[in-house]
Copies of this chain bind each other. A is one copy, B any other.
Amino acid sequence: MDEQIRRFSERELISRIRDLVGQKTSVDLIKGIGDDCAVFRHNERELWLITTDTLTESVHFEPAWHKPFLLGRKTASVNISDVAAMGGSPQFALLTMAVPDQCAADWLEDFLAGFTAVLQEYKVMLIGGDTVRSGRDTVFSVTIIGSVDKERILYRSCARPDDLIWVSGPLGEAAAGLEFCRRGFLTGQAERAAKWQRLIKAHLDPVPRVRLGRLIADSGRAHAMIDLSDGLATDLAHLCRESMVGAEVYADKLPLSKLLVEAAATLRMSALDLALKGGEDYQLLFTAPATAAEVLGRLAADCHNGTIYPIGRITAGGGVFLCREGAPRQDISYQGYDHFTGR
């Protein structure tokens, strides 16, 4: 590669776009670029949420191991997760598919069956889209529109110093599952894959935390929320930047499952790295005062017997720091996965 040519990282590009957008405002727009969804006025009581996301072949999915039905499910789920991240309810979807000539109708039928199955689970209507031929890669883009109570919406930008930071489930599982897929555990002997099935499923068929997101928002106790798509280190850094705060993450509080620790040993990877930097867990990360712990814990228990895990604390200074006993604080801001540079 020619090093003379300037290239963007995803963050640089988004920040460049922000510059271009300028400061124009509209009475109907509550929030533009900078959160999981853009936010519009709807009616007296509710706001509209709108979000768009793209999945591209070889980057976000590998057709060899990502079968079309599950890929359809994931394409819907990861977009719905952005609505969950603001405490909203997904309502409508638009799907654009760019598929190469040689794409078989059966493959597309299976993809659509998976996509619409998830829409039905969450009572989302498919209301439009576009279908085009692509040169080589298969690319899916989804736009989801959701609604949220205007008094209850949770932004990334409202975390406050001394808030505790919670996550809604174990971390690093999808990243470990991806690694098993990459290393051919799906195509090898079935019993090899069976043991890691939960991790592989976390990568292939993630579950957007819609109900929990809404319960957290409706409780009125949380200050800020985001979903974990690019990894804790990056997504928490997004939240901190938008809130103009910093964060401390306590290594010994991170929810690493027994299975993840075992998987990391098998893969010869660090379980901590998988949890901090691995993307696509699609758990919710939210901040709230320590006094809200009991209420929020009860909500999670009511929601499919879930648990929430306090993993750190919001600080007044900037940056996301990892705190480990006997080690200096370590800046981990934005060390998650950047889809754009692949680093």
Q: Which of chain A's residues 43-88 have a Cβ closer than 8 Å to chain B?
A: 43, 50-60
A341 at the interface (CB under 8 A from B): yes
Q: Contact at A106–B54, with CB atoms within 8 Å?
A: no
Chain B neighbourhood of A109, CB < 8 A: 16
A134 touches B129 (CB 8 A): no
Q: Which of A2-10, A153-161, A173-181, A258-266 lines the interface with chain B?
A: A2-10
Copies in the complex: 2
Residues of B within 8 A of A1 (CB): 101-102
B residues less than 8 Å from A128 (CB atoms): 32-33, 37-38, 50-52
Is the CB of A295 closer than 8 A to any CB of chain B? no
Write out the residue numbers on chain B whose beta carbons fall within 8 Å of the beta carbon of A137.
98, 134-137, 139
Cross-chain contact of A127 among B29, B91, B342 (Cβ < 8 A):
B29
Q: Cβ of A299 < 8 Å from any Cβ of B?
A: no
A279 to B134, CA, bound (A): 17
Residues of B within 8 A of A190 (CB): none
Q: B339 and A133: CB pair below 8 A?
A: yes
Shortest CB–CB separation between residue A1 and chain B, in angstroms? 7
Most chain B beta-carbon contacts within 10 A, residue among A20, A33, A103: A20
The residue in A33, A58, A109, A125 that gathers the most chain B C-beta atoms within 10 A of its C-beta is: A125
Does A116 belong to the interface (CB within 8 Å)? Answer: yes
Give the CA-CA distance A216 to B130 in the complex, in Å: 26
8 Å CB contact of A340 from B40, B126, B133, B135: B133
| Cβ contacts under 8 Å, A127 to chain B | 21, 29, 32-33, 38, 50
Which bracket fits the contact residues of A?
A: 35 or more
In the complex, A58→B134 CA distance in Å? 7
Least Cβ–Cβ distance between A134 and chain B, in angstroms: 4
Complex A-B, nearest 3 residue pairs according to Cβ-Cβ distance, in ascending order: A58-B135, A141-B141, A32-B127
Task: Please name 18 further chain A to chain B contacts, defined as beta carbons within 8 Å, in addition to the given A6-B104, A21-B126, A101-B342, sorted by A numbering.
Answer: A1-B102, A7-B104, A12-B105, A16-B108, A17-B95, A20-B113, A25-B125, A32-B128, A40-B92, A52-B128, A52-B129, A52-B141, A59-B133, A98-B137, A101-B341, A130-B141, A133-B341, A135-B136
